Every structure is written in structure tokens, then in C-alpha cells.
Copies of this chain bind each other. A is one copy, B any other.
Amino acid sequence: MVQVAIVGASGYAGADLVRLLHRHPAVELVCITDLTNAGKPFSDVYPAFRGRVDRILENIPPAEVAKRASLVLAAVPHVAAMGMVPELLAGGARVIDLSADYRLQDAAEYAAWYGHSHTSPELLAEAVYGLPELNREAIRGARLIANPGCYPTGAALPLLPLLRAGAIDPDSLIVDSKSGTSGAGRTPSPGTVFCEVNEGFKAYGVASHRHTPEIEQTLSTVLARSVRISFTPHLLPLNRGILTTTYASMTPARTTEDLLGLLQRAYAAEPWVRVLPAGQLPNVAHVRGSNYCDIGLVADARTGRVVVVSAIDNLVKGAAGQAVQNMNLMLDLSETTGLDVTPLTP
């Protein structure tokens, strides 16, 4: 059993890490930490876990965490993450960071989009972007994983095979995403009060959301050329799920079946990507609580564009589940270990 710690276990992503790891057959959860709830049993903060995870939340320094655990999953906000990751690594732990702090390879771009200068830029070159379907081999041996953002995961997975095959024009990409409210975190704020979200729907962060450069970096790296996209997130009045609708010009026009075939071949061996048959499209309800990314598409001969739709659970494949998938790779386990959960429906 590998000794594992979760830093920042009281947020929604942290709690989903606890959900997935407390019964994981190959790891032992030795430490869960939280700043504000330290001293309380985890099940006081999340009563759903009563009798399952009654362990006390602790508030201990990174060096101490690294002493107890050989692998640490950090689910704290950006900036806070880079305040502890170097110390965790120095203490000998491998780290999966769920924040944005090590995702962008260029410290200047990080500073531009996040409004903070990076305090450990020397780690950016070492950090591996933890999208297993893209970087599987590098992840296995990594010391530091930058776990992808929720929107970038839902955006990149359906596009990568299409771009690699030259099937779509990289300059035409328009990514329209809609996320459940758990993506906004558990800390109360005026924008996430129930009555402000329920029966409402809006766009936010238009032309300015911080996941834009992350998506662009992934696509640019794969194509070895600079890609710029339009990306618009929206807030859905539901708990879990991101649906991403992407528009791209086909080069040249093909049939729906052709393009689906391309995706099916690319993802045939992937345990957590499901390419739907022609005529079917994803629904966030069909991946709820699971690590799946469902993908469907329609080629539109009228306009010469393809409309690609993906669905993930933002807390699972978009955060905690993908982190566990990365952990499994780092520990030479099957990628499905501890993740074999059927989506909860209805």
C-alpha cells in the first residue's frame, strides 16, 4: 500500500479525491488536511461520509505531509499551491497538483493571465501536464503532475485526434462550454447563492477566462504551431458536469461517420473516453460521478463545419478522477483502479 495524502480535502475537488481514494485498493490515505476545518472529522464537513471517513482534518506544514506520504494530491487554490509544492517535492514526495499553478509552461503567460508572478518557475519545465490520453508515458515517471483544468479536459480530448489528422482548421475553433456550479467551489459567494444560480443561466469570463491559454497550449503543442481559440464558459444550474460544444471548419468536408471513425480509432484503447455512435450525443447526466469523457459529433455539409460535443463530470475527469488516473499511472497500476464507478442516473 502506498502512503497518500490529500492537501485541501474540504473543497469539492478535495472531497471527491477522498471519495475515490478512501476505498482505493492500492493506497492508504494517511493524511487529509484543511486550513479552516482542521481539527474536525471529515464527516462533520461532509456528512455523507459518516461512518466511512471520520478521520480528522489536520493543518500541518508541507514538510510534515511529505514525511508521512510518498505521494501527495494537492487540491488547494492556485497561488496557495505554488506556496507548498516545492516543499512537498523537497521532502521527497511526488505531487499531483490540481491547481493551475504548474499547467502553463511559460511563467510570463502565467503572470499575464493569473495576475501573480510565479514563485517556482524552475519547476515548470519539469511539471508534466496530466492528461493521460496525451502524456501517458511522461506521467508514469513524473515527480510533479499539473492536473488539467476542467474546461481544458473537456475541450482538448475531442479535438486532439481531429487536429492531428488535419481534419479541422485550427484557426476556426470556437469552444462554447457550460459547467455545473460545483466548478465554482464550496466557498460562499454572491454569485453562487442558490437563488442566484437556480433558474438562471449566463456566460462569464467571456474572452478572458484563465483556461483559454491552457487549452491553447495543449493544442499548440500537439500541432507544433500557435493556436488561438474563442472560449466561452457558462454557468449551469446543476451540480456536476461540463458540456463543451466546439465548432470547427472541416478541411475538407467529411461525413459524421468518417470523423467519428477517426475518434474511435484514436480512443479505442482508452478506458475513460467513450466515442458515441452517429446519431447520439453526450449529456452531462450520463457521466455523473464517473471518470468518463463522452464524445459525439455532427458534420454539417451545409456549413462545412463539424460540431463536436463532449461531456465530463467536472469534479471527476475534470479534477479528482483524472488525478487518480494520473496517480495510477505513476504507481504502475491499471488506470481504472479505484475509478470503476457507473455514472449515477437519474
What is the total number of copies of this protein in its complex? Answer: 4
Bound complex: CA A280 to CA B206 (Å): 10
Cα A302 to Cα B231 in complex, Å, equals 11
Q: In the complex, A240 Cα to B232 Cα: how many Å?
A: 22
| A230→B308 CA distance, assembly (Å) | 12
Would you list which residues of chain A between 165 and 198 have a CB under 8 Å from chain B? 174, 176, 178, 181-182, 184, 186-190, 192-198
Query: Counting CB contacts under 8 A, is A211 at the interface?
Result: no
Contact between B23 and A236, CB atoms less than 8 A apart:
no
**A342-B192 contact, Cβ under 8 Å, with A202-B243, A286-B47:** no
Contacts of A289 in B (CB 8 A): 289, 344
Q: Which residues of B contact A49 (CB under 8 A)?
A: 342-343
- Say yes or no: B344 contacts A288, CB within 8 Å: yes
A sample of 14 more A-B contacts (CB under 8 A), given A174-B247, A193-B193, A204-B281, is A48-B287, A48-B288, A48-B290, A48-B343, A181-B195, A186-B190, A202-B243, A202-B309, A203-B245, A207-B307, A230-B300, A232-B307, A247-B247, A289-B344
9 interchain residue pairs of minimum CB distance: A200-B285, A188-B188, A195-B346, A207-B300, A48-B343, A202-B283, A194-B197, A48-B286, A48-B345
* Residue of B186, B196, B229, B281 touching A303 (CB-CB under 8 A): B229
Q: Is A320 an interface residue (CB 8 A)?
A: no
What would be 14 A-B contacts, judged by CB atoms less than 8 Å apart?
A12-B346, A48-B286, A50-B294, A174-B174, A181-B195, A182-B195, A192-B194, A193-B193, A194-B197, A198-B239, A202-B281, A202-B309, A203-B309, A234-B245
Distance in angstroms between the alpha carbons of A292 and B197 in the assembled complex: 20
